[in-house]
Amino acid sequence: MNSLDALTEFTTLVADSGDMTSVTEYQPQDATTNPSLILRAAALPDYQPLIAEALQYANLQGGNRETRIMNASDRVAVNAGVEILKYIPGRVSTEIDARLSFNRGLCVSRAEKLVKMYEDQGVDRSRLLIKLAATWEGIKAAETLEQNGIQCNLTLLFSFAQARACAEAGVYLISPFVGRIYDWYQSRSPDSSYVAENDPGVKSVREIYDYYKKHRYMTIVMGASFRKPEQILALAGCDRLTVSPELLRALKDSEVSVERQLVPSVEAFHQPAPLAEDEFRWLHNQDAMAVEKLAEGIRQFAIDQQKLEDMLAARL
């Protein structure tokens, strides 16, 4: 048995890709997308009909040029999700514009718009996850959406404070970013002899997983943003792992044995009082890595969102 197949005995695998070819090749349960993945996929031949339809949709909706660009961008993301759902049994995650990360109300309204666009194409909301950055505003927006029957995936998650607040808000799923945490520490203290047990990204996900299971939070933990197969195998047993096509291929070609590393707690439990906003902001602020990587991630997704919109604008 190859490492990929062995891993699926302990963990549900999710394709971290907007490329339909990769999704069909590895047949994951779910798939996740973000502006960066959509931007890269938009250059592929398979995407050209989806883009053409999105532009036609935006023109039919009318409005000024800015509105039509926004509608075209949303439609491209939805069209990609609809296409991906033809090849997977589970859910697709579609991301809210990162530029709205600090506006709770606009996050909610944009999410409701995206869900309606999916439903208009015959996709039930039970097959969707709305991705939001795990800012305080994003987490509170997700809390509102969950209460209204729209389930969420909180992304760009780097600190324990973010993870705790997400669980307390009752969000469906979180995506802690293993690789970007690793990058931050590696750039400051290069380690030539890699040991997965010492990887700060791996340790972060394990801490979150143990806390959730100990306190019986129902929020799913889905490790994300991996740099190497060792990080993935060190989290065998995590609820879910979202993995790039390159690393899925590496695991498929590997015969390294896989053992379960994460096991749910059976301890007696209680759930602590939820964090207030000032507590959340202070605890998150105490983690320099998390503050820097959250801000950087929002900026990068915003840049790629703008590039996607510029590409669409040139074709309107």
Instruction: Return the pLDDT at 189.
Output: 87
Query: What pTM was estimated for this model as a whole?
Result: 0.95
Top-level class of domain 3-314 = alpha beta
The H or E element that residue 27 is part of is: none
Q: For 21-80, what is each residue's pLDDT tens digit?
A: 888 888 899 999 888 989 988 888 989 999 999 999 999 999 999 999 999 999 999 999
Catalytic residue among 113, 116, 131, 228: 131
Q: Hey, where are the domains in the chain?
A: 3-314
Q: Report the alpha-carbon distance of residue 211 to residue 76 in Å, rounded.
A: 37
Q: What is the pLDDT of residues 222-232, one digit of tens each?
A: 999 999 999 99
What are the residue ranges in the chain where pLDDT is below 70? none
140 catalytic per annotation: no
CB 290 within 8 A of CB 29: no
Q: What is the 3-state secondary structure (H, E, C) of 157-179?
A: ECCHHHHHHHHHHCCCEEEEEHH
pLDDT at position 191 is 75
Q: How is the chain split among helix, strand and coil, in percent rounded to 5?
A: 55, 10, 30
Model pLDDT, residue 27: 84
Mean residue pLDDT across the chain: 95
Distance CA 38, CA 226 (A): 18
| Predicted local confidence at residue 192, as pLDDT | 74
| pLDDT at residue 19 in the model | 79
